[in-house]
Amino acid sequence: MKVIKIDNAKTKDLTNDPLFVGGRVEAKFLIGPDIAKKLGLGLVKFVPGARTKFHTHTSEQVLYVTEGKGIVATENEEVVVTPGTIVYFPAGENHWHGATKDSAFAHISIAPPHKTNY
């Protein structure tokens, strides 16, 4: 068994990662290959207006919205999401997600190890 307290996890600044645009983005990688070989779990926080670029993953991804107001989008639709919302992206679906212009936003990302293409 492994018990992880989110508050004790190290925060990584992803603002300059080329996947993100629009402002500061931070992540806490809670479960990685040091703990589980088939599962990744991370808390990602976006300042208002920050988001990902369109991208795909080689695996499925689930987002669980934990705070604020965000947008999840595919090439065909955009949906505003709030805490308690779960979003599922199948492998290979082109999508983006991030904060609305007027609210910070955070989600927990759940996915097996994968490659991200953008």
Q: What is the pLDDT of residue 106?
A: 98
Q: Judge whether 3 lies within some domain.
A: no
Q: What is the tens place of the pLDDT at every residue in 3-42?
A: 999 999 999 999 999 999 999 999 999 999 889 999 999 9
Tell whether 1 is covered by a domain. Answer: no
In a domain, 5, yes or no: no
Confidence at residue 40, expressed as pLDDT on a 0 to 100 scale: 96
- 1 band by pLDDT with thresholds 50, 70 and 90: very high
The answer to the question of residue 102 being in a domain is yes
pLDDT tens digit sequence for 52-106: 999 999 999 999 999 999 999 999 999 999 999 999 999 999 999 999 999 999 9
- State the total domains in the chain: 1
* pLDDT value of position 82: 98
Q: Which domain holds residue 96?
A: 12-117
CATH of the domain at 47: 2.60.120.10
Residue 106: inside a domain: yes
Among all chains, which residue has been given the structure tokens 């500061």?
24
Token pair in block for residue 48: 């208002």
Answer whether residue 26 is part of any domain: yes
Q: Is 70 exposed, middle or buried (0-12, 13-18, 19+ CB in 10 A)?
A: buried
Query: What is the Cα–Cα distance from 24 to 45, expressed in whole angstroms?
Result: 8
Per-residue pLDDT at 24: 98
